[in-house]
């Protein structure tokens, strides 16, 4: 299978539609809201669930990924999924704290990756993917998620957390720039807007400053890209909470099926 022209996908975690639509850089030539799966029980989209649906073209009930990490024992993986899909059993098991028991027994988890989720649309093309959740995500993202709770508990300053995110962003941007125009399909994921909106939820001006900053860093790189460029988000964010829709834009051509699950069909 061959694409008619090179495709670059920039995955901007938590890019909010109602902010992006007013900024020329993000909305490109065509843009809109994107339907995304809502995680059962949570009432909002979850990063790991949505990006897995994006890459596999499957609804959550079919790909069955609910967490960022998964037990490296197949029986425990099956049990984990079974419990999650049955709320009454889940509530009972939660009280028993079996996760802690499994940890003491030496049963370890590993990050969800391509080997766990099965076939993706990246398999159909000459592709290069940089740090996509539940595919090949950088270890630093896991550390950032942990540190987010430290900020909430005043164990880490907002400044330290911001610098940690900025360092990860700079590293990923440098890797991305080295790969542009070298592949049939290039995909990169940036996590910074999600984590910073969680801690700066109380300051709209600061959030807008970061949207402009990310745009100023990405724009010179994107101007060098040949072919089609998509920007995609798994959800937006308002007041620190995930909104129930994503965002899409492209530099040429509208997408017909405005659901992140059906993004693969849009490529076809």
The tokens of 94 are what?
């939660």
268: exposed, middle or buried (Cβ count in 10 Å: 0-12, 13-18, 19+): exposed
pLDDT score, position 39: 75
Ranges of residues in the chain whose predicted pLDDT is under 50:
84
Alpha carbon distance 166, 21 (integer Å): 24
- Of 71, 125, 93, 162, the C-alpha closest to 267 is 125
CA distance 199 to 149: 10
pLDDT at 116: 86
The confidence score (pLDDT) of residue 80 equals 54
Tell me, what's the pLDDT at 223?
Answer: 97
For 237, the token pair is: 């964010």
Q: What's the pLDDT at 112?
A: 83
Residues in the chain: 268
Measured between its terminal Cα atoms, the distance across the chain in Å is 9
How far, CA to CA in Å, does 233 sit from each of 3, 90, 156, 180?
A: 22, 30, 28, 20
Cα–Cα dist 69/88, whole Å: 22
Q: DSSP letters along 244-267, please?
A: SEEEEEESS---SS-BGGGHHHHH
pLDDT at 99: 57
For residue 31, the surrounding DSSP H or E stretch is strand 30-35
pTM assigned to the model: 0.86
Please report the domains of the chain, with CATH numbers, ordered by start residue: 7-60+113-267 (3.40.720.10), 69-111 (no CATH)
Helix axis angle, 192-199 relative to 139-152, nearest 10°?
A: 10
Q: Residue 251 has what pLDDT? A: 96
Q: What is the pLDDT of residue 91?
A: 57
| Cα–Cα distance for residue pair 205/69, rounded to 1 Å | 34
């Amino acid at each position: 299978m061959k694409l008619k022209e090179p495709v670059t996908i920039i995955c901007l975690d938590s890019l909010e539609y109602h902010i992006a639509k007013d900024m020329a850089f993000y909305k490109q030539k065509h843009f809109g809201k994107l339907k995304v799966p809502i995680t059962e029980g949570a009432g909002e989209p979850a990063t790991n669930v949505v990006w897995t649906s994006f890459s596999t073209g499957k609804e959550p009930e079919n790909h069955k990924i609910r967490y960022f990490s998964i037990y490296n024992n197949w029986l425990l993986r099956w049990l984990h999924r079974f419990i999650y899909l049955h709320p009454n059993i889940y509530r009972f098991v939660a009280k028993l704290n079996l996760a802690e028991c499994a940890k003491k027994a030496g049963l370890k988890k590993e990050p969800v990756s391509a080997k766990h989720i099965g076939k993706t649309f990246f398999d159909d093309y000459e592709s290069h993917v940089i740090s996509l959740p539940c595919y090949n995500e950088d270890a630093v993202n896991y550390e950032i998620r942990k540190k987010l709770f430290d900020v909430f508990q005043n164990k880490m300053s907002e400044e330290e957390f911001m610098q940690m995110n900025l360092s990860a962003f700079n590293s990923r941007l440098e890797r991305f720039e080295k790969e542009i125009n070298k592949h049939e399909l290039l995909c990169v994921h940036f996590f910074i807007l999600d984590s910073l909106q969680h801690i700066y939820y109380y300051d709209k001006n600061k959030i807008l400053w970061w949207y402009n900053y990310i745009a100023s860093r990405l724009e010179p790189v994107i101007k060098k890209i040949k072919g089609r460029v998509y920007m995609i988000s798994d959800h937006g964010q308002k007041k620190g909470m995930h909104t129930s829709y994503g965002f899409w834009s492209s530099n040429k051509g509208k997408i017909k099926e405005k659901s992140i699950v059906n993004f693969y069909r849009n490529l076809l």
